[in-house]
Amino acid sequence: MRYLQILLIVSLIAGCAQSGYKQFYKPYVDANTLPDVQLLKKGEEPQVFGTDDFDRDIKILRAKRYIVIGQSSFNGGYEDTKNAAEQAKTIGATIVLTNSQYTNTQTTTSTLFLPDNKTTYHSGSVSGSTSYNSAYGGYLGSSNTYGSYSGSSTTYGTKAVPYTTHQRRYDQNAVYLVKSTQKVRYGISVADLTPEKRSEIERNTGALIDIVLEDTPAFYANVMAGDILISVDGSNVRNAAHAIEVMKTSGNSEYSILKVLRNGKEKEIRVEF
The answer to whether residues 69 and 91 belong to one domain is: yes
Same domain, 171 and 240: no
Residue 70 pLDDT grade (very low, low, confident, very high; cuts 50, 70, 90)? very high
C-alpha–C-alpha distance, residues 78 and 81, integer Å: 9
Domain span including residue 251: 183-272
Give yes or no for a contact between 164 and 108, defined as CB atoms under 8 angstroms apart: yes
Asked if the model's pLDDT at residue 140 lies above 70, the reply is: no
Residue 53 shares a structural domain with residue 77: yes
Give me the torsion for CA of 231, 196, 62, 189, rounded to 10°: -20
Any domain includes 4 = no
- pLDDT given for residue 7 in this prediction: 45
Rounded to whole angstroms, what are the CA distances from 137 to 130, 140, 166, 167, 176?
15, 9, 85, 87, 108
Residues 262 and 188 in one domain: yes
C-alpha distance from residue 195 to each of 111, 152, 205, 256, 261 (Å): 57, 87, 11, 29, 17
Mean pLDDT of 65-84: 97
Whether residue 254 is contained in a domain is answered as yes
Residue 102 located in a structural domain: yes
Average pLDDT on 207-234 reads 97
Residue 126 belongs to a domain: no
Are 191 and 79 part of one and the same domain?
Answer: no
- Regarding whether 190 and 99 lie in a shared domain, the answer is no
Banded model confidence at residue 60, pLDDT cuts 50, 70, 90? very high
DSSP single-letter state for residue 80: -
Tell me the percentage of the chain whose pLDDT exceeds 90.
70
Residue 179 · residue 173 · CB < 8 Å:
no
Number of domains in the chain: 2
27 vs 138: which has the higher pLDDT? 27
Query: Could you read off the pLDDT of 154-203 as tens digits, one per residue?
Result: 888 888 888 898 999 999 999 999 999 999 999 999 999 999 999 999 99
CATH number at residue 254: 2.30.42.10
Average the pLDDT over 143-163 and give the result. 76
The whole-number average pLDDT for the span 213-233 is 97
> Are 72 and 201 part of one and the same domain?
no
With 60 as the cut, is the pLDDT of residue 1 above it? no
User: How many C-alpha atoms does 111 have within 13 Å on its Cβ side?
Assistant: 4
